Amino acid sequence: MVTIALEGLGAHYGKRTILSDISTPALPAGSLTAIIGPNAAGKSTLFKRIAGLISGPGTVHLSDDATGRDGVRYMPQDTGANAVLSVYESVLLAAKQGSGWRVEDSELAEIDTLLRALQIEGLAFRNLGELSGGQRQLVSIAQALVRKPKVLLMDEPTSALDLYRQIEVLAFMQRRARAEGMAVLIALHDLNHALRYCDQTIVIAQGTMVASGPTGEVISPALLRTVYHVEARVETCSQGRPFLIVDGTTAA
């Protein structure tokens, strides 16, 4: 089942072109796709363009089941917190966004399930303004998932999380994508996380796509040299998985 594919996608802010000519094959339902690339490459802009928040040339192809109101959900990088709401209220608000205010028992049950899965049920009645950055990031993930989108765009969702929670969240997203038939696109900086959890990887540099394909094929020493200007090795760890080691930056 195809969920999302991009064709000749571009974006501009005013007259400045930020992103051009991004085309991908179909990113299948149930898979995780890493969006990687240096700072200011255009990763967040790509997500905003896919989510329809900014305009530009090209087409976002969505399969029929992903075109509805709950089709595509975007979890921004900076999640401005409305400090007067509790965690529970904020997730409930996300669940009801754009629909009526009638709350079904099943929706409350789903919120409980999500807060437990993300191990933040103990924070349910704390105000968002009193949370740490990492705790707020977990709440944003609950808000993004509560409507069960078909395509989920997560902009650096693990940037404020400790080691344990980074792994928990990525493993959870992988299970959830598989179980719900959701296509998840995740902007990431930790390439070992991409290697471990993401089926495909798309590399963005200077506003355009420089590589895409199965993660293990895309992340190579040659690519890392060109795109990130680092000398790196992809070795096989003692458990047989690929592991990236960065030896240093390339000489300028």
Ligand X SMILES: Nc1ncnc2c1ncn2[C@@H]1O[C@H](COP(=O)(O)OP(=O)(O)O)[C@@H](O)[C@H]1O
Q: How many CB atoms lie within 10 A of CB 37?
A: 25
Q: Which is nearer to ligand X, 78 or 104 (CB)?
A: 78
Selected range binding ligand X among 34-42, 129-137, 140-148, 238-246, rule: CB under 6 A:
34-42
Q: Binding of ligand X at residue 40 (CB under 6 A)? A: yes
Q: Binding of Mg ion at residue 44 (CB under 5 A)? A: yes
Q: Binding of ligand X at residue 44 (CB under 6 A)? A: yes
Q: Please state the closest distance from residue 14 (CB atom) to ligand X, in A.
A: 7
Q: Please state the closest distance from residue 44 (CB atom) to ligand X, in A.
A: 3
DSSP strands (E only) in 23-132: 27-28, 32-36, 59-62, 72-75
Work out the angle at residue 154's Cα, subtended by the Cα atoms of residues 152 and 156, and round it to the nearest 5 degrees: 170
Q: Binding of ligand X at residue 37 (CB under 6 A)? A: yes
Please, which residues bridge with residue 240 across strands? none
Q: 46, exposed or middle or buried, with CB in 10 Å at 0-12, 13-18, 19+?
A: buried
Of the candidate residues 5, 18, 219, 232, the single one contacting ligand X (CB under 6 A): 18
Q: How far is CA 221 from the centre of its chain?
A: 24
Span between the terminal Cα atoms of the chain, in Å: 45
Work out the angle at residue 225's Cα, subtended by the Cα atoms of residues 220 and 230, and round it to the nearest 5 degrees: 105
Of the candidate residues 24, 45, 63, 140, the single one contacting ligand X (CB under 6 A): 45
Q: Please state the closest distance from residue 142 (CB atom) to Mg ion, in A.
A: 21
Of the candidate residues 32, 43, 123, 184, the single one contacting ligand X (CB under 6 A): 43
- Chain residues in the site for ligand X (CB under 6 A): 13, 18, 37, 39-45
